[in-house]
Structures are given as structure tokens and as C-alpha cells.
Amino acid sequence: MLNKIILIGRLTRDPELRYTTNGVAVARLTIAVDRPQFNREREKETDFIDIVVWQKLAETCANNLGKGRLIAVDGRLQIRSYDDSQGIRRKAAEVVADSIRFLDWPKDRDNQGGGQFNSGSGSGSGFGSEISFNGDDIPF
């Protein structure tokens, strides 16, 4: 059996970071993902998909992401049931993220993590930040 989802979309709002009673970080995100086909009016349709992120990755997302940022999510689909405020049984579908890649730079690089390209692996290295060379060193 396989339960794997890969999505690329833009955040519809800033991540919401909370902590469980045991102190485990959990963040909720919603991304907008365009459907590949057009509707009858020749317009693109968009799905709004809820994402749940846990632990250090949740804190990283909350500290470095904001509305409009482009991300790639790798995770699994989770369907859960709950009772709403009127006692009616409801179901919610959400993606539990295993990793998240930041696919664009913040609009204001100085105020949002210095333009770092972070992923779920926690590497925290900026894209191309470790490349240092003098123009005379290029062999072509």
C-alpha cells in the first residue's frame, strides 16, 4: 500500500503555530494548488489544501514562511473524524507533511530569514550560499 502526496502551491495565509500540551510544535498551513485543466468558462480552478506540519519543521515553517510563498509539500493524506460544536460527526482531509521545500525567496529577504532556502531535512543552507569563487577561477 502507498499513501504519498506531492503538492506545489502558494500559501493562502501565514502559518499558524501551536504547541500540544506535551510541548510538541504543530503548524497548520493552507496552500492553493491550480488544477491542470480549465473549467467550462475556460478558467483555471484552484484547490485549497490543508497541510499539517509537526515538530522542528513546524517551527521552521512558522518562522520563515508567509502568505503567498511558493512551497513543495511531500507527505501523506490523512482523513480524520471529529464532532463539531453541534455534535454532528464531520470528516476532515489534510496532508501531513514529511518535508517542505521553499521554492521562492521572501519578498523582503532582510526581514525573513535572510533569503534562506530551508527544507524538511533541517539543512538550513541558503541556495548557493556555500558557493564562493573568484571570477578568475572559472575554467571557461
- Which domains are assigned to the chain? 5-137 (2.40.50.140)
State which residues of the chain have pLDDT below 50. 112-140
- 56 CA to centre of own chain: 13
CA distance 4 to 16: 24
Query: What is the number of other CB atoms lying within 10 angstroms of the CB of residue 103?
Result: 13
Query: pLDDT value at position 43?
Result: 85
pTM: 0.72
Q: What is the pLDDT of residue 78?
A: 96
One-letter amino acid identity for 136? D
Largest CA distance in the chain: 71
The reported pLDDT for the residue numbered 110 is 54
